[in-house]
A and B are shown apart, each in its own frame.
Chain A
């Protein structure tokens, strides 16, 4: 399984090369990875269904206990069928969908395979860190796929919203996972679920994890990113926003649910937001004219439904949930791919402009009808089987489950209504609109749509094919499962009656004139998109105000803040616990006296200097004087560096001040009072540093431990008799590398700042002679 994940990433790296050479065929090559994964996973299905699930571990940072563990169990196998199976179909479909010579081919093929690999890693991961890494990889892939090349404002906005919302959830989830792992004492998800920890921390942890799941699965109030993401190419939407990525949230909840289904902090948010999402999504879908957006709201509604079923936490509800996960992946991918064909062949997806496609494309219509009916829960399709199980599961649970049932029934009525709206809108004949002109739908693309659509039909008749898999997952909820089997016919009982009632109510809702006028209407202030916009705007405003206040752009203010902080914070603490030094010597060597006098005089004169150049030169005198003091004290290395740095600084100073007015102020000072504040501050800070230097050098007893170690070991350990050099290149070599890295970055940054303002001048000063001819050519 580790190999399969790695194969995806390696293949993704080579796809741009393949796309450059063979164009659209890159998608078919890319489809090999998920297809092979699907075959491999199905051939090992017995392992996933066995009592002990196959586990593979790859320790990538064993020193700090980080490893990547895959665990191949029933839920993972189910998700692999969806992720890899639909992934392979979508990639093949994209090969026909993309225009020949499209520039997006190399990018999209590579990203889709990368995404398939990340998703595979996500569903297989058994430790929380890997889970998070793959989770964020899917977020990044989604951002890049939605944004495309970012050529329009709409693309950038939608992609950014998808990224911001899902990565907000991702970060919350990381925190939650870490809290949970710390509370449980292990990072293995299987072990956490087997012995779920308790306590207040765990409550916070599950809430944070749920936030991640809700943002990823577009639950209220985070859902607006999903309809926005429909700007992506249709195959991308089909895969990411119908079958795979949005399922990640449901998967995460389903993965952790067996351990926490009794915790109110766990199931309460799930069922409340899930029901809300289910009803709102279905309701909003009734208003959409764009087929893709209609399906997107339908997806939101279905995801809410799936959440509710996991939140219910009973065996039958869990069975219904995984059945519907499978059914939804099949029918929703078929429907999105259908929309892709319609869009590509007719140039529109607006149901007000489409008419008579049903008669033109009979095969596609049959497949789409199968998928739509599965979505609406019509027999004899897999969607119906799942919905029967869901009603059965909610009917025989606790009293709260009956409330859930009422919400689910309402949501299902909307589902039937928007399903019919989709089907009639896409394929129906409209008397007022001329039949749409369209070429044939294309054999390959239609066949690809047919595979998941027909699978939904076949599996409904032989649910035994997948039931061991689905029931295997549900067994985690209950030690003694009830005697319930998936099937089309359970007798003439309440679930069947409810199903019939839902279909009739949905049909009436679709037929009545009420639908187009009232349906899907939400008062403007309640739109979740407004909430998103307000939070993003607020964040930007906050960042601007904080930056505006901290980065005032005034050197005296920066320096003043630094100096005041230095004197106030460490100064108070240090001065309170210091002893007065006992022996203070005036000088060690007589040479120090004139040097010190020179430095003091120079420093005093700097303040009085009127011309910038004078001030710079006097500062240089201070620096050289200090270098001379180092020589007197015997620090030859230090003195050498001091002299050299001082010379260079002087030169750089001169370079800069030649762009300045020669004098500091012309005539009178700008702020006479501020001068005194600055002078006072400088005096206090200077005195503070001087006093501290005296106090600390006075209270030091003998040579420090580190210095003695360096002096003793320099020769033997590094072969250097110069201890300073031994420290720089050996003992503290890591510091040296860090410092030169900082220096390189600072130099590059300064260079770019200065050169960024560069404008080419006709008689440029810094134009190498031989480059001149080229320059003039460019200008012409």
Chain B
């Protein structure tokens, strides 16, 4: 993904700047995993942003209602699972533009940094603070620093789920990278 020339920077005619760059659905030739279900694929694409929004809602709502970083992260992860189940690894590759270990690592880093920052200002590690703001339109806004810990958990869970999809999912697909040559040969024999 990173090897691709950055198309954002290329000069495009002003009338075409918002023309879609990719096909909305995958073409036939790059989907060679399992029989496609058009309905499922389209539904997954339509529902995907909404599910991600719900996951973010759960992340923030966790402070007062059911939810939290763990549940939010799982919901977001399930959104990717849906895309993968609908379209296979090519669909997943079209969705995920960042390496899953980076997401895992940044989640863990945010959580650990949140734990350590209070030590810099002389507080015990992991202690939290509550800030309240009064905004003109929104009313009172409460903000607690342990939200960052929840964000770290959220990112980590999302990363773990996508990593699972990449390895256990795409990695064990028929003809995927997770198989040794012996198994593939045996399958070849069985199929013919």
Contacts and interface: CB of A to CB of B under 8 A. Distances in A.
Interface stretch (A32-40, A175-183, A402-410, A767-775): A767-775
B20 to A, nearest CB: 16
A756 to B, nearest CB: 9
Given A733-B115, A764-B175, A770-B3, A651 B167 contact: no
Contact of A644 (B30, B78, B93, B152): B78
Interface centre among A636, A744, A758, by most B CB within 10 Å?
A744
A748 B146 contact: no
A149 interface: no
Given A655-B168, A730-B146, A741-B108, A758 B177 contact: yes
Interface string B142-171: 101011011011001101110110111111
Interface residues of B, number: 72
A647 B78 contact: yes
A722 to B, nearest CB: 5
B66 A640 contact: yes
B74 interface: yes
A658 interface: yes
B2 to A, nearest CB: 9
Nearest to B63: A720
Contact of A737 (B58, B75, B112, B157): B112
Interface string A743-770: 1100110110011011111011110111
B172 interface: yes
Given A644-B75, A719-B142, A766 B93 contact: yes
A728 interface: yes
A722 B104 contact: no
Contact of B171 (A648, A720, A755): A755
B171 A758 contact: yes
Contacts of B161: 648
A295 B156 CA distance: 58
Interface in B1-57: 1, 3-4, 30, 32-33
B67 A748 contact: no
A640 B70 CA distance: 10
Nearest to A656: B168
A718 B144 contact: yes
Contact of B85 (A651, A728, A763, A774): A651
A751 B75 contact: no
A668 B166 CA distance: 36
A729 B69 contact: yes
Contact of B163 (A724, A747, A769): A747
Nearest to B32: A765
Nearest to A743: B160
A730 B128 contact: yes
B117 interface: no
B176 A768 contact: no
A648 B78 contact: yes
A734 to B, nearest CB: 6
A76 to B, nearest CB: 36
B96 to A, nearest CB: 9
A736 interface: yes
A637 interface: yes
A725 interface: yes
Contact of B144 (A719, A724, A758, A760): A719
B1 A771 contact: yes
A729 B1 contact: no
B103 to A, nearest CB: 10
B44 to A, nearest CB: 13
A659 B172 contact: yes
B88 A641 contact: no
Given A644-B71, A740-B107, A743-B160, A722 B144 contact: no
A218 to B, nearest CB: 44
Contacts of B85: 651
Contacts of A751: 100-101, 163, 166-167
B130 interface: yes
A721 interface: yes
Contacts of B160: 743-744, 747
Given A755-B177, A774-B3, A652 B168 contact: yes
B64 interface: yes
Contacts of A760: 177
A645 interface: yes
B62 A725 contact: yes
Contacts of A740: 107-108, 111, 152-153, 156-157
B98 interface: no
Interface centre among B30, B130, B168, B184, by most A CB within 10 Å?
B168
Contact of A754 (B1, B74, B178): B178
B180 A757 contact: yes
A760 B171 CA distance: 11
B22 to A, nearest CB: 9
A640 B174 CA distance: 33
B149 to A, nearest CB: 5
A768 to B, nearest CB: 4
Contacts of B78: 644, 647-648
B65 A722 contact: yes
A722 B62 contact: yes
Given A644-B74, A759-B179, A774-B3, A718 B66 contact: no
Nearest to A761: B175
A588 B162 CA distance: 40
Contacts of A724: 68
Interface in A709-726: 718-722, 724-725
A677 to B, nearest CB: 31
A750 B178 CA distance: 12
Contact of A744 (B32, B68, B104, B175): B104
B140 interface: no
Given A755-B178, A759-B177, A648 B71 contact: no
A751 B104 CA distance: 12
Nearest to A641: B71
Nearest to A728: B68
Contact of B176 (A640, A656, A765): A765
A181 B180 CA distance: 57
Given A730-B146, A733-B149, A734-B126, A768 B172 contact: no
Contacts of B70: 641, 728
Nearest to A739: B153
B86 interface: no
25 contacts: A641-B71, A644-B71, A644-B74, A644-B78, A647-B78, A729-B68, A729-B147, A729-B149, A730-B126, A733-B126, A733-B128, A747-B159, A747-B160, A748-B101, A748-B104, A751-B167, A754-B167, A755-B171, A755-B178, A757-B179, A759-B179, A759-B181, A765-B173, A766-B176, A768-B90
What 6 A-B pairs have minimum CB-CB distances, sorted nearest first? A644-B74, A758-B177, A766-B170, A636-B66, A766-B89, A719-B130
Given A729-B146, A747-B159, 15 more contacts: A648-B74, A648-B164, A659-B172, A720-B63, A721-B63, A729-B153, A740-B156, A743-B160, A747-B160, A747-B164, A759-B179, A759-B180, A759-B181, A761-B175, A761-B177
